[in-house]
Amino acid sequence: MSQYSIPYGRQDIQQADIDSVVETLKSDFLTQGPKIHEFEKNFSEYIGSKYAVAVANGTAALHLSCLALGLKHGERVITSPITFSASANSALYCGAEVFFADINPNTYTLSIESVQKLIANKPKGFFSGIIPVDFAGFPVNTEKLRELAKEHDLWILEDACHAPGAYFTNSNNEKIKSGSGTYADLAIFSFHPVKHIACGEGGMITTNDKKLYEKLNILRTHGITKSELIKNIPNANQQGSWYYEMQALGYNYRLTDIQAALGISQLTRAESGLERRNNIANRYRDAFKDVNIKCQRIIEGVYNAHHLFVIQVQNRLGLYNHLRENGIFAQVHYIPVHLMPYYQDLGWKAGDFPNAENYYEHCISLPMFPTLKDEEQEFVIEKVLEFVN
Ligand SMILES: *Cc1c(COP(=O)(O)O)cnc(C)c1O
């Protein structure tokens, strides 16, 4: 038995979080109350977007976003094969078709060149949108992507689940945070406990577009609204303040106030958590710089949110088992989505995306979370080096 049991990720719940939740449990609203708006306001301030819409989870955020963007049956969307399957599934929920483009072998995010290649030999209007993923916390350069999107009339939905607080530097030397709404139409986040901010389950959509914001608000709650009423009902002027209308086919994708209360409290530690994640990442990089281990590329002006710390090694299965034997529970992110049996049934196959598949053969995610202790990280490093050398 090892002295340690170290997961690859872990939530950090403190007394302030518990107090925040208990206070809401004792309040009048468990859902549809004031904590939702407070969380949305604080989150949009943190991310730098005009608007934020809290929803039940990251997958619901993706689905609602696709709906708000008007994605329909028969339309086509591009995403990365190296992501959680929800990034791709959300387009399928709308009856659209998913296309993948290969990743950049150094940043592990969607390669703009491979997207360009995919679009180049198709007629204009063939694709409706693109869902880039800020993989492991590495923010996609949405400025470059926007140029491409403009040319081809695509919307951009940024899957920023891994990257709250991450930024890249644009051509005007401005820091552009993931989800700030500067270049992407919409961005989505998840508050699953393994992500930066834990709500149990939860998600958020951010945007600078008022129309999309209003659509999302209505779609989140059954398509029901009490404003901008149509009133095509008998005795229209005899309707009191109970009156509401279902104007679109929406869903119940609401977050509860209990979850929002937890999120509000967690958000106050987001910045310090991010700093800690970067310290941990720097220590890993330093420890592995002289051995045959590849880390995600560092690019000047890019601040990585380090949801994950992925390394690539020759013998991944061997290292995985060696770490497990020592109580270190590394993980693998991700099995390429196009190789999932469901997607293979849709026609995708091994060999379609060599960079993504080669990445998958070698990748392993080491423990990365703010409460990882220095001595625990030392132990992880020691065990990794012991195996690789
Ligand atoms: C976690 C995650 C999701 C889904 O979020 P849930 O809250 O679990 O539904 C989507 N995309 C990426 C990249 C994720 O990591």
Quick one: pLDDT at residue 190?
98
Give a yes or no: residue 310 inside a domain: yes
Q: Tell me the pLDDT band of 1, cut-offs 50, 70 and 90.
A: low
Quick one: pLDDT at residue 46?
98
Q: Whose CA is nearest to atom 5 of ligand 1?
A: 58
Percent of the chain with pLDDT over 90: 98
More confident residue, 313 or 4: 313
Instruction: Name the DSSP letter for residue 85.
Output: T
Quick one: pLDDT at residue 3?
80
- Is the per-residue pLDDT at 143 higher than 80? yes
Quick one: pLDDT at residue 287?
98
Which tokens sit at 320? 């995985």
How many angstroms does the Cα of residue 258 sit away from the middle of ligand 1? 20
Percent of the chain with pLDDT over 70: 100
Quick one: pLDDT at residue 124?
87
Query: In this structure, are 295 and 262 located in the same domain?
Result: no
Q: Whose CA is nearest to atom 15 of ligand 1?
A: 161
Query: In this structure, are 54 and 34 located in the same domain?
Result: yes
Give a yes or no: residue 3 inside a domain: no
- Tell me the CATH number at 295: 3.90.1150.10
Query: In this structure, are 248 and 312 located in the same domain?
Result: no
The whole-model pTM stands at 0.97
- Residue at a domain's end among 230, 250, 267: 267
pLDDT tens column, 323-375:
999 999 999 999 999 999 999 999 999 999 999 999 999 999 999 999 999 99
Give a yes or no: residue 4 inside a domain: no
- Residue at a domain's end among 240, 267, 294: 267
Quick one: pLDDT at residue 72?
98
- Residue at a domain's end among 219, 245, 267: 267
β-strands 175-177, 186-190 pairing: unpaired
Buried/exposed code over 168-195 (b: 16+ C-beta within 10 A; e: otherwise): bbbeeeeebbbbbbbbbbbbbbbbbbbb
377 in contact with ligand 1, CB cutoff 6 A: no
Best of 66, 109, 190, 199 to mutate for ligand 1, by most ligand atoms within 8 A of CB? 190
- Is the per-residue pLDDT at 14 higher than 60? yes
Alpha-carbon torsion angle 130, 133, 139, 143, nearest 10: 0
Q: Which atom of ligand 1 is nearest to the CA of 83?
A: 13
Q: Which atom of ligand 1 is nearest to the CA of 191?
A: 7
Number of structural domains (the chain) is 2
Q: Which residues span the domain enclosing 93?
A: 15-267
Quick one: pLDDT at residue 363?
98
